[in-house]
Amino acid sequence: VIKEHVRRQLSDIHVAVVNSVVDLATHVDDPDMLHEWLVEFIALNPKVSGCGVAFEPNYFPEKGQWYELYAKADSSGTIHVKEIGGPSHDYFSAQWYQGAKNVQTSYWSDPYLDESGAGELIMTYAIPVCNRKGKMVAVFGADLSLEGFADYLAEIDSLNADTIAMWDPDRLGSHSFLLGRDGTYITHKDKSRILRQNFFKMAMMTPDTIDDGVVRDMKKGVEGYAQLDIVSVPSYIYYTPVKHTNWQVVT
């Protein structure tokens, strides 16, 4: 169930980006229209926490070497667009920008802290933007807030716990989180773990060898489950890869 919720959340952003990028390409030479376009994209896609379009060096000579517009809604729901490209925000070297440029297709970036635009931990679904001649001129990115995503998973866990309690009051319910390709926590109810601790490394340090097998499966992208003790509580752990990413959903 958790896997399907995660897949749907990511799929909705994927579909929104892929379906919109052709329309975006018609506005790449008009910065004023880009402002309006980004505001409309955020308004139509509430699962996107922010979005931006970042241009190749000196695409607009009058704008300088860097030109990136970023849109995000404030706490009142008002959407603001700002220019964030510059020497202190050299997006040309950013993973999301380089990834889309190098693979020439859409993809999910690794989680990162975006201080210039989003102001929080995010993952970006990035896609190259081409002009009418098919030349890449920019990268468009739609962001997913890690904190918001963690809260979303917590809501699903809470609903699952209520259902479990109806059938077996002695069970403690479930807890789900998302792992990156190297085992780093992308989401977790203990937010101090996010991007700071690694499930693979922690599992390898325990005397229990069952979780070592779980880690080997995860690295292979294998779906499975195991029974083991977690802080002395007999538990089941379920894990499954997330399609189109190198992530694992763990419950």
The DSSP line for 142-193 is EEEEHHHHHHHHHHHHHHHHHHHHHH-TTS-----EEE-TTSBEEE-SSGGG
Per residue in 25-39, pLDDT (tens digit) is 999 889 889 999 999
Residue 216, token pair as written in the block: 């080997």
Is residue 3 over pLDDT 80?
no
What is the distance between the alpha carbons of residues 92 and 16, in angstroms, rounded to a whole number?
A: 24
More confident of the two residues 202 and 139: 139
Per residue in 76-132, pLDDT (tens digit) is 999 999 999 999 899 999 999 999 998 888 889 988 889 888 888 899 999 999 988
Average model confidence (pLDDT) for the chain?
87
**C-alpha distances out from residue 191 to 15, 101, 121, 146, Å:** 29, 32, 11, 10
More confident of the two residues 230 and 90: 90
Instruction: Report the pLDDT averaged over residues 68-81.
Output: 94
44 neighbors 36 (Cβ within 8 angstroms)? no
